[in-house]
Structure 1
Amino acid sequence: MAENPIDDAALKTRVITHMNKDHKKSLSHYLQHYSKLPPAIADTAELVDISLSRITLSTRSSPTGAAATTYLPIRPSSMQNLSESRERLVYMANECLAGLGLSPYVVKTYAPPGIVGVAVIVGVLAGLWSFSAKRNLAEGSFARVYLLQNYHPLADFLMRTHLIGFVAIVVIHLAECVHLQRTRLRKHQVETFSKIWWLWMMTGFFEGHGAFKRFDKEVEEVIKARKTH
């Protein structure tokens, strides 16, 4: 029996509205994976049409704002009717996540450090401050008296090499931030330069391993929540 054209049009409208409202990231992933578009352009994606064999996406490029249209075939095969659209679009979304190296478990929260983490952050800050200038390690300085317990041979050595120490601390902790971004933040779709991203990156810089462990716990909570729904 043939489908009612009116019902078919209403379903198409619902699918398009739903995808544009609730699944903008999936639209972006379609374009990043299938069409190899950069995220800056793919993130402007809007679903403008869907048929049994393809979806039509519109994007805008910066800074001109010129519009472009991309046609993507429905995967893994064409539909018999639009009621199959959810199954196909979910399949494509999962295929894109795998192809882009992304996880379906999205972290949208930030977990602050505990007492141990705060102690580590204070220690790193103290180290950066101590190595930032020779006078911070000179005779009678806070670092020499309280941190180094007036152990002059070590204090004198650190004072001579304070710039090397400062650069080493910065480089090591920046490397930890890069690792955090590559192995966790990007994978679990924490939006770059968002508030949550900055909080995790700043904590990752000053705390290091503790931030990695807390992020992994947040992922576990997301997985648990997904399984209970």
Structure 2
Amino acid sequence: MSTSEAQEMVAKERIMKHMNADHQESIRRYIEASEQTSFYQVRDAQMTDINLNNIKISYGGKQAVIPFDPPMKSLREARERLVQMDKDSLQTLGRSDISITKFVQPYAIPAHMMNFTTWLITYTAFSRRSNFMAGSLLYDTLLSRTPGFATFCLTIQPLLLVIIMGAHSVECVLMARKLAKHGLTPFEAVWWLWVGTTFVEGFTASLRLNGLIAEKKKEKEAKKH
């Protein structure tokens, strides 16, 4: 093997190692955009080769070949080309260039924590009709002094629970769509934290996510100056 060939192999290995370790999201987007696959199919995507003409990616037992147009003149162009390919993939998929990788706890904002706690208590109290009957811990410790209110809660319990769960389920769907736009999928624990807390607290989780997105946009803009 000549010196130039050896240097090319080293460069290839360095690029693939870097992409597979630090830019998994980009690799998955390349496949989703070019092969029209779902996030489930590309969850294990790995770059297996790169040359002046294309990159090769294995996923789900398949292999995709994605061409460079036009071909590169040198592997030194790889970084710029891969970045542009990712931008094109984001545009094709209709996704944001702001990636969400962390979860903001309700307690980060006192009003959100209060809302979360209120809904959690409501879910717990209305989860069973027997909670509003004599003999239950809730009734005996808090509601026995207001039997009329206990009877009212007992009457509305089934309907209220259905309304709350229905409304918050819609909030979860909207949250999942927003997370997908920002690169999060159900294969990541952070996705479950956002969607799970949304089911409990409703819209305040979305407010925190919007705040996090705005913060990341500011950081990205600051890096441009």
TM-score, length of structure 2 as denominator length: 0.81
Maintained 8 Å contact 2:25/2:183: no
| 2:96 aligns with one of 93, 98, 103 | 103
| 2:111 aligns with one of 90, 112, 116 | 116
Deviation at 1:208, TM superposition (A): 1.7
Secondary structure, counterpart of 2:63 in structure 1:
strand
1:168 aligns with 2:163: yes
Aligned to 2:10: 10
CA distance in 2, matches of 1:56, 1:9: 15
Aligned to 2:202: 208
Instruction: Specify the code of the residue in structure 2 equivalent to 1:126.
Output: I
TM-score, length of structure 1 as denominator length: 0.80
Q: Identify, as 1 or 2, the structure richer in helix.
A: 2
Instruction: Specify the code of the residue in structure 1 equivalent to 2:176.
Output: Q
Q: What's the CA shift string for 1:176-217, capped at 9, x where partnerless?
A: 11111112x222223425332222222212222221111111
> Structure 2 vs 1, CA of residues 9 and 151 (structure 1 numbering), >3 Å: closer, same or farther?
same
Unaligned runs of 5+ in 1: 62-66
CA distance in 2, matches of 1:202, 1:101: 25
CA root-mean-square deviation: 2.9
Aligned to 1:227: 221
| 1:129 aligns with one of 109, 120, 124 | 124
Deviation at 1:5, TM superposition (A): 4.1
Secondary structure, counterpart of 1:225 in structure 2:
helix
Unaligned runs of 5+ in 2: none
Maintained 8 Å contact 2:169/2:199: yes
Q: What's the CA shift string for 1:74-116, capped at 9, x where partnerless?
A: 14x2222222222211111111112223222112222222322
> Structure 2 vs 1, CA of residues 4 and 122 (structure 1 numbering), >3 Å: closer, same or farther?
closer
| Corresponding pairs, count | 217
CA distance in 2, matches of 1:160, 1:144: 18
1:20 aligns with 2:20: yes
Aligned to 1:182: 177
